[in-house]
Structure 1
Amino acid sequence: MTTPTTAPTRVLLTGFQPFGGESTNPSWDAVRAAAAAPLDGVELHIAELPCVYGGSITALRATIAEIHPDVVVCVGQAGGRPDITVERVALNVDDARIPDNAGAEPIDEPIVPGGPAAYFATLPIKACVAAVRAAGLPASVSNTAGTFVCNHVFYGLAHLIATELPQLRGGFVHVPYAPEQVIDRAQPSLPVAAVAAALREIVATAARTRTDLRVAEGATH
């Protein structure tokens, strides 16, 4: 008698191309490194998204349609943050402090006109943070994904889940600068290898966990 096998969870992990004059983006570098070795119980796919309003969501939707993932974890750079931050909330607003890679600089524009003001991630965000910390790496829950292309993609993903693909689960993770990006400025950073290890913990946790931890991870400011 054969024992039935459980199909692996299909996960799409995305990063971004460099932006803002940078020559690299640790989100994509870490995503590629995270996918360099197999992950138990996970069929991992990766994709690089353009750092462009509109086009980033279009690229994400096309990749989801091609791969049909069970879980999507989008990753972006948050220069200045000291740790891996798992995002809780996506806001329906584009408000650019700098142009995107196509030169667009929207101000106070909705991502989806008439859409909800915000969506929550459908990943176990606190369990993901706990898993990263258990691996010896710094992590926290974030309550703002900004208003640049990262939040744009996060909201676009959440809107797709809410309106078209309710079986899909997804969310967003921000990562710090890589050390080579901050040689001439006083900013926190984490090695790409450490970020990749954190992403593997997040992917594995998101793949196997549906009920989040009920622990305090709120902010006081």
Structure 2
Amino acid sequence: MAPITSAITRVLVTGFGPFGGVPDNPSWGIASRLPSALPSNIELLVHPSYVPVSYHPTLDLVPTFHDQSPDIALHIGVAAGRKYFAVEQTSQKSGYEWVPGVDGEIFTKEEQQAAWGPLPEKYSTSLDLHATVARWKELTSGLSFSERGSGARAKPVDVRFSDELPDMLANFTTQGQSVTTQDDEVKWSDAVGTYLCGFIYYASMAEMGKRNTGEQRNVAFLHVPSLDTEEQIKVGVDVTVALIQALVEVKGST
């Protein structure tokens, strides 16, 4: 697939801040190290600070992201129980009343109804993630994942603030050590969860759909594993850059 070289593509990128068990969130570590531009006329609009792991501040921020009129929005979060990078297909508008954010607040059923009442229970991105992942695999084939060492070496996690509770509980022992192994380093997924990762994904797709003719939701969510060292974060930056390039190429070819 040939890279897009004519029009400028504006890609918004965000990362999350610390939460229980994750004092240095690698999603913000990656986002904050991205350049302002990439080859093939890609302009990166990196939000200048991390998104707090709290529902109400996040909901307030989402419209400001889209005030910049990005062609693609990419939100990044951590899934500490995984050893791979994954783009998520769908998110849902309900279920955020169970696990509080770092401020101790939930997003109640009544608030969910007030914010998104008439909208579908699930939103799926308008981006072709299957084609994107195929291209992403090509672009990352030369990267050295060995620099991650054991990869997503898990820290003890407070499950009250876990990013995706079913996934975390499945992938962790009671001592908080990862017991999962994965063959693929980059992949498609449909398990964004109902914590802040799913919340920002749904809110961002709803906001972009509201603003665009035909309700195009050119939004993606990237889950990254725990990355503990500067070398691992650098690998995460390279993987994310490759994903952005793949998203732009695939979008431009459709």
Asked if Structure 1 and Structure 2 have the same fold, meaning a TM-score greater than 0.5 normalized by the shorter chain, the answer is yes
Structure 1: gaps spanning 5 or more residues: 181-189, 214-221
* Cα distance per residue 1:104-146 (max 9 Å; x no partner): 1346673623321101112221233223322136111111210
Alignment of 1:1-221 (within 5 A): 6-35=6-35, 38-47=38-47, 48-65=50-67, 67-95=68-96, 98-106=99-107, 110=112, 112-134=116-138, 135-136=140-141, 138-165=185-212, 166=215, 169-179=218-228, 191-210=232-251
Shift of 1:212: 8.7
Aligned in 2, Cα 1:168/1:95: closer, same or farther, shift over 3 Å?
A: closer
Once residues 216 and 117 of structure 2 are traced to their aligned partners in structure 1, the CA distance between those partners, rounded to angstroms, is 24
Q: Which moved more, 1:76-85 or 1:45-54?
A: 45-54
Once residues 212 and 148 of structure 1 are traced to their aligned partners in structure 2, the CA distance between those partners, rounded to angstroms, is 33
Aligned in 2, Cα 1:9/1:209: closer, same or farther, shift over 3 Å?
A: same
Once residues 68 and 19 of structure 1 are traced to their aligned partners in structure 2, the CA distance between those partners, rounded to angstroms, is 29
Shift of 1:39: 3.5
Aligned in 2, Cα 1:63/1:106: closer, same or farther, shift over 3 Å?
A: closer
What residue in structure 2 maps to residue 185 of structure 1?
A: none
Structure 2: gaps spanning 5 or more residues: 146-184
Conserved 8 A contact 1:86-1:128 = no
* Cα distance per residue 1:78-120 (max 9 Å; x no partner): 1101111110011111336642122113466736233211011
Q: Aligned-residue CA RMSD in angstroms?
A: 2.6
Q: Which amino acid aligns with 1:35?
A: P
Larger relative contact order (Cα-Cα within 8 Å, sequence gap ≥ 6): 2
Q: How many residues align?
A: 199
TM-score normalized by structure 2? Answer: 0.70
What residue in structure 2 maps to residue 217 of structure 1?
A: none
Q: Which amino acid aligns with 2:119?
A: G
Once residues 61 and 7 of structure 1 are traced to their aligned partners in structure 2, the CA distance between those partners, rounded to angstroms, is 24
User: In percent, how many aligned pairs have the same letter?
Assistant: 25
Conserved 8 A contact 1:14-1:73 = yes
TM-score normalized by structure 1? Answer: 0.79
Once residues 126 and 85 of structure 2 are traced to their aligned partners in structure 1, the CA distance between those partners, rounded to angstroms, is 18
Q: Which amino acid aligns with 2:121?
A: A
| Higher fraction of helix | 2
Secondary structure of 1:209 counterpart: helix
